[in-house]
Amino acid sequence: MLEAVIDELRLLTQALEATGAFALIIGFVIATSRCILEIKPLGATQAIEGYRQAIGRVVLIGLEILVAATIIKTVTFDPTIENMGLLALMVAIRTGLGWSMVLEMDGCWPWQKRSA
Partner 1 sequence: MRSSVTIFSSRFPVSWHGNISGIVKEGITEQILEYLHHAAEMISLAGVAVIIGGFLLATGRYLSEYRQLGPAVVFSQFKIRLGQALMLGLEILVVADVIETITTTPTFQSLALLAFLVTIRTIVSWTLFLEVEGRWPWQARSKMAKPC
Q: Least distance in Å: CB of 2 to partner 1?
A: 17
Out of 9, 12, 68, 90, the only residue in the binding site for partner 1 (CB under 8 A) is: 90
Judge contact between 69 and 13, C-beta under 8 A.
yes
Cα angle 53, 32, 94 (rounded to 5 degrees) comes to 40
| CA pair distance 57, 115, nearest whole angstrom | 24
Q: Under the criterion CB under 8 A, does residue 56 sit at the interface with partner 1?
A: yes
Q: Least distance from C-beta 46 to partner 1, angstroms?
A: 12
93 part of the interface to partner 1, by CB under 8 A: yes
| CA 37 to the chain's CA centroid | 24
Nearer to partner 1, 39 or 93 (CB): 93
